[in-house]
């Protein structure tokens, strides 16, 4: 199994995972042989990537940090909550807490906690998927720095609701496919205050969770907003959510730009450690994120090409690679696995579209 961009998926490819919207509209079932009509249907629903089964990816299993049916159900619940008129007044924190507790329980079931968020998402449902993913990544980072379950719950709640204030921002601005004007950007930045105000009116939510909505765009060097806070003036929940927010935003397709690859985003964020992001929290985050998610097509320094077949938790940028094309560009009849953590003469130099 591997993940491919929909525009690169060949007619006749076999769909590996069922695709549906957060409203429960079933689009394609696993095992469907892809046709041009199927591709057009998915494009109309804002789907940009799918999972396929083919010869070179046979036997490769994409690890799930959270079971697919659980993450889909959670995102559906979040969409219903975020589109309810009452959300502009206050939040049912008890319900959000139940959602977060379910996420934590699923994450802690794993022997290896590696956040490789692999659900198929619609651009049109970005807001709801993003909210859940930021919560998941924040929880994983919290686990990485030794937070206990009660603290993780508060962190997860605040992270899930970090962009709540966007329900008060004009949707045409949020969905604008071109650059925002300075006035429009100033309006978007107000979502931090809007969200904080709504959460302050909600019952049974911690002060730290509320502060995530207000402070997740603050940066250690004072270059963030809305209060231009610096370093320790930004509480730890907000510093964690800031990392999760940027990572998920940059690794996701949006209306106005295509996503970046995870390894490029991680390198970019690491370059800002100590400047924009708390370095110790960033290190904890990176330890639990797949540089090259399983199924990624990569090029080795030898000129050989292959697919990432396994993640190395102790060497996040040195995965196991299934070599499928030799250095001369010839397809191999018999694939071979190269563990880059043991074969130090090899390294990944690029990713490629098959």
DSSP characters for 315-327?
STTS-EEEEEE-T
* 50-70 b/e (C-beta count within 10 Å ≥ 16 → b): bbbbeebbeebebebbbeeee
Residue 36 CA, distance from chain mean position: 28
Q: What is the percent of the chain with per-residue pLDDT over 70, rounded to a whole number?
A: 96
Q: Which range is least confidently modeled, 143-147, 176-180, 245-249?
A: 176-180
Over the stretch 14-31, which tens digit does the pLDDT of each residue have?
Answer: 999 989 888 878 899 999
In our burial notation (b when 16+ CB lie closer than 10 A, e otherwise), range 320-354 reads bbbbbbeeeeeeeeebeebebeeeeebebeebeee
pLDDT in tens, 49-101: 899 999 999 999 888 888 888 888 899 999 999 999 999 999 999 999 999 99
Query: Average pLDDT, whole number, for the chain?
Result: 92
The predicted model scores a pTM of 0.91
**Per-residue CA distances from 112 to 8, 57, 231, 296 (Å):** 31, 22, 31, 19
Residue 120 is predicted with a pLDDT of: 61
For 4, residues 6+ apart whose C-beta sits below 8 A from its C-beta are 13, 49, 50, 51, 52, 353, 354
pLDDT 10s digits, 185-206: 999 999 999 999 999 999 999 9
Query: pLDDT grade, residue 114 (50/70/90)?
Result: low
CB 133 within 8 A of CB 248: yes
Residues of each domain in the chain carrying CATH 3.90.105.10: 2-53
CATH architecture, range 68-286: Orthogonal Bundle (1.10)
CATH 1.10.3210.10 in the chain, residues? Answer: 68-286
* DSSP-based three-state secondary structure for 188: helix
Residue 123's nearest CA partner among 255, 260, 261, 257 is 255
Burial of 136 (0-12, 13-18, 19+ CB in 10 A): buried
Calculate mean pLDDT across residues 221-233.
97
SS3 assignment, position 297: strand
From the candidate CATH numbers 3.20.20.100, 1.10.287.130, 3.40.50.10140, 3.90.105.10, the one assigned to the domain spanning 2-53: 3.90.105.10
């Amino acid at each position: 199994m591997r993940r491919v961009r929909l525009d690169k998926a060949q007619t006749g490819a076999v769909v590996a995972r069922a695709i549906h919207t957060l409203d429960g509209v079933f689009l394609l079932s696993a095992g469907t042989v892809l046709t041009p009509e199927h591709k057009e249907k998915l494009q109309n629903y804002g789907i940009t990537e799918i999972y396929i089964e083919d010869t070179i990816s046979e036997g490769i299993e994409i690890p799930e940090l959270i079971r697919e049916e659980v993450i889909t159900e959670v995102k559906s619940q979040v969409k219903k909550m975020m589109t309810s008129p009452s959300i502009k007044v206050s939040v049912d924190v008890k319900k959000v807490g139940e959602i977060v507790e379910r996420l934590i329980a699923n994450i802690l079931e794993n022997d290896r906690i590696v956040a490789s968020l692999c659900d198929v998402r619609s651009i049109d449902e970005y807001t709801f998927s993003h909210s859940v993913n930021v919560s998941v990544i924040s929880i994983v980072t919290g686990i990485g720095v030794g937070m206990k379950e009660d603290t993780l719950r508060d962190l997860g709640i605040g992270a899930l609701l970090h962009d709540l204030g966007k329900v008060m921002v004009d949707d045409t601005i949020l969905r604008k496919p071109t650059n925002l004007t300075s006035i429009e950007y100033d309006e978007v930045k107000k979502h931090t205050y809007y969200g904080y105000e709504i959460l302050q009116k909600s019952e049974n939510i911690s002060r730290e969770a509320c502060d995530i909505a207000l402070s997740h765009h603050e940066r250690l060097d004072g270059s963030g907003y809305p209060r231009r806070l610096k370093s320790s003036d930004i509480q730890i929940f907000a510093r964690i959510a800031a990392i999760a927010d940027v990572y998920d935003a940059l690794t996701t397709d949006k209306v106005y730009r295509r996503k970046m690859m995870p390894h490029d985003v991680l390198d970019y964020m690491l370059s800002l450690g100590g400047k924009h992001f708390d370095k110790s929290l960033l290190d904890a985050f990176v330890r639990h994120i797949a540089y090259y998610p399983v199924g990624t097509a990569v090029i080795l320094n030898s000129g050989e090409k292959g697919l990432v077949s396994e993640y190395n938790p102790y060497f996040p940028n040195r995965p196991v690679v299934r070599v499928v094309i030799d250095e001369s560009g010839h397809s191999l009849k018999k694939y071979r696995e190269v563990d880059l953590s043991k074969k130090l003469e090899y390294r990944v130099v690029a990713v490629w579209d098959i």
